[in-house]
Amino acid sequence: MSTDFRNHSSIFVEAINVELERAMNSFLKKLVEQRGYHFIGKNALKKMEGTPKKLLIYDGNNNAYDIGAVIADISLQPIILIESEYTQDYNRNKGSWVCTAHSALRRRYGSIRSSIAVLAGNWSSSSVAMMKSYDINIFLIPFKRICDLLAGYSIEFDWDEKDRVTAIESWNKYAALSNEQKSNIGLEMVNFIKSDLEQLVLRILDDTVEREIDKILIELRSNLGEVKEYEFFSVEEAIEFLNATELKQAFITTDSLTLFDPPPYFNDI
Stretch among 5-9, 18-22, 161-165, 195-199 having the lowest mean pLDDT:
5-9
Residue 225: pLDDT band (50, 70, 90) is: confident
Residue 265: pLDDT band (50, 70, 90) is: low
- Calculate mean pLDDT across residues 62-84: 95
- Calculate mean pLDDT across residues 30-35: 97
Task: Answer whether 108's CB lies under 8 Å from 58's CB.
Answer: yes
Reply yes or no on whether the pLDDT at 264 is more than 60: yes
- Calculate mean pLDDT across residues 137-158: 95
Percent of the chain residues past pLDDT 90, beyond the cut:
62
Q: pLDDT per residue over 161-194, tens digit each?
A: 778 888 889 999 999 999 999 999 999 999 999 9
Residue 76: pLDDT band (50, 70, 90) is: very high
Stretch among 85-94, 103-112, 232-241 having the lowest mean pLDDT:
85-94
By CB atoms closer than 10 A (0-12, 13-18, 19+), residue 48 is middle
CA atoms within 13 A on the CB side of 132: 15
Which residues does residue 121 pair with via DSSP β-bridges, in sequence order? 87, 142
- Calculate mean pLDDT across residues 217-245: 87
Whole-structure pTM value: 0.85
Q: What is the pLDDT of residue 5?
A: 33
Q: What is the pLDDT of residue 243?
A: 85
Which CATH number, 3.40.1280.10, 1.10.340.70, 3.30.950.10, 3.40.1350.10, labels domain 8-204? Answer: 3.40.1350.10
Q: What is the pLDDT of residue 99?
A: 94
| Domain boundaries, given as residue ranges, for the chain | 8-204, 212-269
Q: pLDDT per residue over 237-261, tens digit each?
A: 999 888 876 776 766 666 677 677 7
Can you give the chain as a three-state secondary structure string? Answer: CCCCCCCHHHHHHHHHHHHHHHHHHHHHHHHHHCCCCEEEECCHHHHHCCCCCCCEEECCCCCEEECCEEEECCCCCEEEEEEEEEECCCCCHHHHHHHHHHHHHHHHCCCCCEEEEEEEECCCHHHHHHHHHCCEEEEEEEHHHHHHHHHCCCCCCCCCCCCHHHHHHHHHHHHCCCHHHHHHHHHHHHHCCHHHHHHHHHHHCCCCCCCCCCCEEEEEECCCCCEEEEEECCHHHHHHHHCCCCHHHHHCHHHCCCCCCCCCCCCCC
The residues near 113 (Cβ < 8 Å, ≥ 6 apart) are: 79, 80, 204
